[in-house]
Amino acid sequence: MTSVPGPGPRVLIVDDEPSMRDAVSEMLQTVAHSVTTASSVSQAIALLSTTPVDVVLSDLYMPGGVGTQLLQFTATRNHDPAVIIMSGKPELADAVASVQMRAADFLMKPFSRTALIQSVERAFKSVQRERSSRLLQVDGHAKLLTAVERASIEAFIVALDAAEPDTCIHSLRVREYTMHLAELAHYPESELVQLNYAALLHDVGKIAIRDSILDKLDPLTSEERDEIRRHPIKGAEMLWQIDALRPSAAIVLRHHEHYDGSGYPDGIKGKNIPFGARLFAVADALDAMTSDRCYRSSLGYALASAEIQRGSGTQFDPEVVALFTQVPELKWLELRERADRTATQGMTALLQPFAGSISRLISFNSRENPPCADV
């Protein structure tokens, strides 16, 4: 396995010929984020089961298997990653069969570097679009959005989620937890989509915070703390610009309010805080406490659960804490794993260009957050 630093797709090259693997790897050095190689279909499937990949370049005929088996494999995963079939003995029937099985392209060997790069870039864009489309669905029901709304939401998602799957998936986990609590609470079905966007985009306002504050390692001054504490307002203002996200803006605005009125930006309390924001608060705390931070390891579920129950009536709505305690640890773990899978399959490629800013957001949260809240 070789790794080539840089932006672009994570590519898996599958070919039984070492010289071909080397040549294709060399040609993709300047455009791929990383290049992994496999010498057989079985090795490729094993790698795909454990390693995030955006584009597979597979030889068609190899000892022990054919490249189209990878298309069968990816068909079980929403055709993700994209698969490009390469062949040195191209037959029309092979090309047709590959396309029918949703190959992203069919390349005849030998091919030029330009042709290879164009094909990989097209496949990468295609898989990014598909992932983005899946992320805009809630429980399989796509909301009807205008093209502008869709593009805006995608841009926010791109800006707010992770290029580093191990550390930057907070928002996806919080979304899973929030939506599960919402289900238990019989949250109005017609408002679930908005809650979903709010949980996913809760910290979008930090995009508007100065880098010098987000990057600061020393303790913040009171002015700097005031500025960072304006991020719910800034986030709500951003979402308010998009018709489809206006209901989410109300939740984002209140995502740091506390049930007893000790939160911010306005210190409102109790039922004056939107119910979605009260659900979100518990979900956010759970992920904050059960995730490793730069300054500490995960506190573990038992301690996190105890802390959330201790915050009932002060930081958290007692009604939501009661729902939280109904859920067994195993269920939270299942939801967490689902979010992690989404991050692996869907988010990271979208976020590559924004990795720096997202890492800053996450590291800022990690540094400043007390166990039960982010900033």
User: How far apart are CB 273 and Fe ion at their closest, in Å?
Assistant: 14
Instruction: Please tell me the number of Cα atoms within 13 Å of 146 on its side-chain side.
Output: 7
User: How far apart are CB 203 and Fe ion at their closest, in Å?
Assistant: 4
- Asked whether position 287 contacts Fe ion by CB under 5 A, the answer is no
User: How far apart are CB 286 and Fe ion at their closest, in Å?
Assistant: 15
Q: Given the complex with Fe ion, which of 10 and 231 has the nearer CB atom?
A: 231
- Asked whether position 257 contacts Fe ion by CB under 5 A, the answer is no
Closest CA to 253 of 268, 262, 243: 268
Q: Given the complex with Fe ion, which of 203 and 317 has the nearer CB atom?
A: 203
User: How far apart are CB 270 and Fe ion at their closest, in Å?
Assistant: 20
**Touching Fe ion, residues 345-374 (CB under 5 A):** 374
CB 7 within 8 A of CB 54: no
Q: Given the complex with Fe ion, which of 149 and 368 has the nearer CB atom?
A: 368
Q: Given the complex with Fe ion, which of 256 and 336 has the nearer CB atom?
A: 256
The CA-based angle 241-242-245, given to 5 degrees, is 115
User: How far apart are CB 219 and Fe ion at their closest, in Å?
Assistant: 19
Q: Count residues contacting Fe ion (CB under 5 A)?
A: 2
- Asked whether position 94 contacts Fe ion by CB under 5 A, the answer is no
Sign for the CA dihedral angle at 213, 216, 221, 225 comes to positive
Q: Given the complex with Fe ion, which of 68 and 291 has the nearer CB atom?
A: 291
SS3 367: helix
> Cα–Cα distance between 64 and 210 in angstroms, integer?
55
Q: Given the complex with Fe ion, which of 154 and 374 has the nearer CB atom?
A: 374
Q: What are phi and psi of 58, to 5 degrees?
A: -125, 135
User: How far apart are CB 374 and Fe ion at their closest, in Å?
Assistant: 5
The CA-based angle 347-278-350, given to 5 degrees, is 10
User: How far apart are CB 255 and Fe ion at their closest, in Å?
Assistant: 6
Sign for the CA dihedral angle at 89, 95, 101, 107 comes to positive
Binding window for Fe ion (CB under 5 A); candidates: 9-17, 184-192, 197-205, 267-275: 197-205
**Touching Fe ion, residues 24-43 (CB under 5 A):** none
Residue 254 in tokens: 């209140």
Q: Given the complex with Fe ion, which of 95 and 285 has the nearer CB atom?
A: 285
β-partners of residue 130 are none
Kindly tell me which residue out of 176, 203, 287, 317 binds Fe ion, with binding defined by CB under 5 A: 203
β-partners of residue 57 are 13, 84
Closest CA to 85 of 63, 64, 70, 65: 70
Residues near Fe ion (CB under 5 A):
203, 374
